Amino acid sequence: MSSPSNIGILALELYIPTTYISQSDLEHYDKESKGKYTIGLGQTEMSCIGDREDINSISATVLLQLLEKHNICPSQIGRIEIGTETIQDKSKSTKTYLMSYLQNSYNIEGVTSYNACYGGVQALFNTVAWMESSSWDGKLGIVIASDIAVYEKGPARPTGGVGAIGILIGPNAPLVLDSLRTSYMEHAYDFYKPIPSSEYPVVDGHFSVNCYLKAVSQCFEDLKRKTGAMTLDALGDYWCFHAPYHKMTIKAFFQIASDDLSSRLPHFDAKDKQSWGIVNEYLKPLWNEKCEKATRLGKRVGNIYCGSLFMSLKSLLAFEDIEEVCEN
């Protein structure tokens, strides 16, 4: 098999249920102060699933969307990998379930990748590596990142959401994946589901926020070092973040922006509001240029865990001039 080049994203399909809750209605229903969810979390709506869909069906929906919209036969697919942390039962993989939609095609690798919201990203990395490997069979890869985020009554509930993303991976792609990357993984009891009979996670938002900001900060630091970029501005044309809720995205942006300014302006103090006032002129255009468009879908859908980062990419492609994104 000859080595493929320019491996990346050929197509990106999104599925969100048509039902949703207005966050301002939810504030009212929960008897919370006006603006707690809409301004405090930055969310405007939240997608909701009914009882006739589950993680298997929404994953199948994006798989079939990819096959039908892009005229792909099952026999052209050599690998399907699902990133999810939503479990229909405690053993059967969503990947096996999806095989029932691929009649007569049995030689399809890939499993369900399972690691908090990171499963979808690892599924993407694995699929691209498979295509670069000596075992590639010349076929296309599909990555599905899907989750149903349900929280029990309380502070985490308004950040729930549901969505599935299907990504078609192949050579000569308009969106090529760069081989340069860095990761940060740490053990924390920020989010887990220790009660087997309950769908609800135990969430400690404090740990989640800290762990995520530490990861974002360290990864940008590593990327600056690896690329030799002297300023944050020089590092990429657009930035897509995982978006558990909109304000978290802003926090992540401010974290790396303040890291960047601290490293260049010795008197910059991230805790001093006046310092922020002075540099606001620098930060606002940077946010608008690199981040804002990628956050629009997430504000309306909520956290979809594994698919969240890819929904940000979908949002960027939907609201930015697509040709410009692909050329950059």
Residues that bind a copy of itself (CB under 8 A): 85, 87, 89-93, 95-100, 106-116, 118-119, 122, 125-126, 128-130, 132-135, 179-189, 191-198, 201, 215, 218, 222
Greatest alpha-carbon span in the chain: 66
Q: List 21's β-bridge partners, or say none.
A: 46
Q: Nearest distance from residue 282's CB to a copy of itself, in Å?
A: 29
Complex with a copy of itself: residue 85 or 292, whichever CB lies closer? 85
- Given a contact cutoff of 8 angstroms between Cβ atoms, the answer to whether 166 and 13 are in contact is yes
Q: What is the CA radius of gyration of the chain?
A: 20
The pairing of strands 77-83 and 140-149 is: parallel
Shortest distance (Å) from residue 18 CB to a copy of itself: 27
Query: Does the annotation flag 308 for ligand binding?
Result: no
Residue 324 beta carbon to a copy of itself: minimum distance, rounded to whole angstroms: 26
CA dihedral sign of residues 312, 249, 121, 203: negative
> Toward a copy of itself, which CB reaches closer, 64 or 87?
87
Closest residue by Cα to residue 8 from 172, 239, 236, 129: 172
Residue 251 labelled as part of a binding site: yes
> CA-CA distance, 167 to 108, in Å (whole number)?
16
Closest contact distance (angstroms) between CB of 173 and a copy of itself is 14
Cβ(249)–Cβ(243) below 8 Å: yes
Residue 300 vs residues 35, 37, 66, 158, 177: alpha-carbon distances, Å: 15, 12, 23, 11, 27
Residue with tokens 């949703």: 20
Query: Whole-number minimum distance, CB 252 to a copy of itself, in Å?
Result: 17
Give the residue carrying structure tokens 């401010």: 254
How many Å apart are CA 151 and CA 160, to the nearest integer?
6
Q: Rounded to the nearest 10 degrees, how much is the dihedral formed by the CA atoms of 49, 53, 59, 60?
A: -150
Q: Give the residue numbers annotated as catalytic, written as ranges.
A: 85, 117, 242
Q: Which residues are annotated as a binding site for CoA?
A: 208, 247, 251
Q: Which residues are annotated as a binding site?
A: 208, 247, 251
